[in-house]
């Protein structure tokens, strides 16, 4: 880990990492965060000055997919984050210590870095029955979250579970699972949704906060605009087929083989805000739509309850069940969906309107 008392620049130099390499890395972060190229110099300079930065990672009700995802980050790598950038003082999956020693590490990190440390949370927090459904060191998730968040600089909620409740929050939500943001008061919360979230969205955001000491621009759901400012549909390479009305009707028909739009086989790209189509996955190798599967909208609230992963958006959703339905109910539900999207004041909202028109025409 970064040696106490030294700066990141000094630590990197000792490892033979040149200033040029740091600048290159800063350029990647600047590009990811949609900053002007000139910001790279500032980021590199500020990163070089960064001293030991404590990060406390709290895991609640989740599947560990978010940690799996961040360990597959390509730029920067988790190794960069842990060994060169930060001190990951507490992380259930990655820490070497356990039991009392782990809790002591968390308490010490909080004490020594009051007001400066970052808390990363994954998973949702059970609130029913006194929060008994998930405990760590004999304490409820809620208790641990509120104690740890109290003196933090900022909270970063990674994954749809921490950001919006995710799978544990899906009906009937037996544990009373809640997202993190409503449970911590008076602290900035950055949501990086996705089930799991894109690793570069997590590491890029954390690097941004570390280097610039501020919170990036967020959308109305608390997500960094740099990664969540556009829909998958906005940047999808299959979009020209959508415009021309070329749609795959099943996953193995001729249209699917020709790479046509997956809208009619249930793709939720038009209403899913995330960077899968641009940042992609596994070192920019591919993303679900590129491998032939529609987007399931995992970065949006309540995507599990909406169900219908293979039903087209034009089939709409039932306000009662949350499941996709057809006919008149569909048109009304979809109109609501479109209206909600319009409220987001994003240019990509226009892309949801053809779906509403399609639903209306089907109704007629
Ligand atoms: Fe949830 Fe993450 Fe999905 Fe899993 O920690 S966002 S279930 S990928 O693991 O919280």
CATH number at 207 reads 3.40.50.700
Say whether both 28 and 172 belong to one domain: yes
- Same domain? For 34 and 181 the reply is yes
Q: Is 318 inside any structural domain? A: yes
The b/e string for 243-262 (b: 16+ C-beta within 10 A; e otherwise) is eeeebbeeeeeebbeebbbb
Q: Say yes or no: 269 and 131 in one domain.
A: no
Which ligand 1 atom lies nearest to the CA of residue 196? Answer: 8
Identify whether 353 is part of a domain: no
Q: What CATH number has the domain bearing residue 280?
A: 4.10.480.10
Q: Which phi and psi angles does 301 have, rounded to 5°?
A: -60, 145
Counting from 1 in the atom list of ligand 1, the atom nearest the Cα of 160 is: 6
Residue-by-residue pLDDT tens, the chain, 364 positions: 445 556 778 877 777 778 888 888 788 888 888 888 888 898 888 878 876 678 899 999 999 999 889 877 666 565 565 555 566 788 888 787 888 999 999 999 999 999 999 999 999 999 999 999 999 999 999 999 999 999 999 999 999 999 999 999 999 999 999 999 999 989 999 999 999 999 989 988 988 888 788 999 999 999 999 999 999 999 999 999 999 999 999 999 999 999 999 999 999 999 999 999 999 998 889 999 999 999 999 999 999 998 789 999 987 543 333 334 333 333 333 333 333 333 333 333 222 333 333 333 333 3
Q: Is residue 173 part of a domain?
A: yes
Return the pLDDT at 356: 31
66 CA to centre of ligand 1 in angstroms: 5
* Inter-residue contact 150 to 160 (CB < 8 Å): no
Q: Give the atom of ligand 1 at the shortest distance from the alpha carbon of 168.
A: 7
Residue among 58, 62, 121, 162 to mutate when testing ligand 1 (max atoms within 8 A of CB): 62
**Cα(97) to centroid of ligand 1, in Å?**
23
Cα separation, 247 vs 242, in Å, equals: 7
Query: Domain for residue 352, yes or no?
Result: no
Mutate which of 57, 141, 161 for ligand 1 pocket (most atoms within 8 A of beta carbon): 161
CA of 249 to the centre of ligand 1 (A): 31
Q: What is the pTM of this model?
A: 0.80
Q: Are residues 68 and 126 in the same domain?
A: yes
In a domain, 317, yes or no: yes
* Atom 3, ligand 1: residue with shortest CA distance: 195
Ligand 1 centroid–CA 162 distance in Å is 8
pLDDT at 331: 34
Tell me: do 163 and 48 sit in the same domain. Answer: yes
Residue nearest to atom 2 of ligand 1 (CA): 66
- Ligand 1 midpoint to CA 117 (Å): 23
Q: Are 260 and 235 in contact (CB under 8 A)?
A: no
Q: What residues does ligand 1 touch, defined as CB less than 6 Å away?
A: 62-66, 122-123, 159-161, 166-167, 195-196
Based on the fold, state whether residues 216 and 72 are members of the same structural domain: yes
Long-range pairs, 214-217, Cβ under 8 A, ≥24: 215/154, 215/188, 215/190, 216/33, 216/190
Whether 279 is covered by a domain: the verdict is yes
Q: Which of 65, 120, 298 for a ligand 1 pocket mutation test, highest count of atoms within 8 Å of Cβ? A: 65
Q: How many domains does the chain have?
A: 2
Q: Which of 134, 166, 276 to mutate to test the pocket of ligand 1 (most atoms within 8 A of CB)?
A: 166
Same domain, 220 and 250: no
On whether both 218 and 254 belong to a single domain, the answer is no
Task: Give the integer Cα–Cα distance in Å for 322 and 77.
Answer: 38
What residues contact residue 49 under an 8 Å CB cut-off, 6+ apart?
7, 8, 9
C-alpha–C-alpha distance, residues 338 and 284, integer Å = 31
Question: Same domain for 79 and 191?
Answer: yes
Same domain? 203 vs 84? yes
One domain, residues 288 and 140: no
If asked whether residues 212 and 317 sit together in one domain, one would say no
Residue 201 belongs to what domain range?
8-228
Residue 224 lies in a domain: yes
For residue 268, report the distance from its CA to the centre of ligand 1, in Å: 19
Cβ neighbours of residue 161 closer than 8 Å, sequence gap 6 or more: 60, 61, 62, 66, 122, 123, 124, 167, 168, 169, 177, 179, 195
Q: Which pLDDT belongs to residue 27? A: 87
Which residue, 161, 194, 228, sits at the end of a domain?
228
């Amino acid at each position: 880990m970064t040696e106490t008392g030294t700066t990141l620049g000094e630590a990197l130099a000792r490892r033979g990492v040149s200033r040029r390499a740091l600048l290159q890395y800063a350029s990647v972060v600047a590009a990811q965060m949609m900053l002007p190229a000139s910001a790279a110099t500032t980021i590199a300079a500020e990163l070089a000055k960064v001293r030991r930065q404590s990060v406390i990672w709290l895991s609640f009700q989740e599947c560990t997919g978010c940690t799996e995802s961040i360990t597959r980050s390509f730029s920067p790598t988790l190794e960069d984050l842990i060994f060169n950038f930060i001190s990951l003082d507490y992380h259930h999956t990655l820490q070497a210590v356990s039991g009392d020693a782990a809790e002591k590490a968390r308490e010490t990190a909080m004490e020594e870095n009051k007001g400066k440390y970052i808390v990363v949370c994954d998973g949702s927090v059970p609130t029913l029955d006194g929060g008994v459904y998930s405990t760590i060191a004999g304490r409820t998730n809620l208790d641990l979250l509120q104690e740890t968040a109290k003196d933090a600089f900022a909270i970063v909620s990674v994954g749809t579970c921490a950001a919006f409740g995710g799978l544990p929050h899906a009906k009937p939500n037996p544990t009373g699972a809640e997202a993190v943001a409503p449970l911590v008061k008076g602290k900035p919360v950055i949501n990086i949704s996705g089930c799991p979230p894109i690793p570069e969205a997590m590491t890029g955001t954390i690097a941004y906060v570390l280097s610039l000491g501020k919170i990036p621009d967020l959308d109305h759901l608390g997500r960094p605009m740099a990664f969540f400012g556009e829909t998958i549909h906005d940047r999808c390479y299959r979009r020209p087929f959508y415009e021309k009305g070329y749609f795959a009707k099943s996953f193995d028909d001729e249209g699917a083989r020709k790479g046509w739009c997956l809208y009619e086989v249930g793709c939720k790209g038009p209403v899913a805000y995330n960077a899968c189509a641009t940042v992609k996955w596994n070192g920019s190798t591919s993303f679900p739509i590129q491998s032939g599967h529609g987007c399931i909208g995992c970065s949006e609230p309540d995507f599990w309850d909406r169900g219908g992963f293979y039903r087209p958006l034009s089939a709409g959703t039932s306000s009662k069940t949350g499941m996709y339905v057809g006919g008149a109910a569909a048109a009304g539900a979809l109109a609501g969906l479109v209206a909600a999207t319009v409220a987001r004041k994003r240019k990509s909202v226009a892309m949801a309107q053809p779906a509403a028109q399609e639903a209306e025409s089907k109704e007629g």
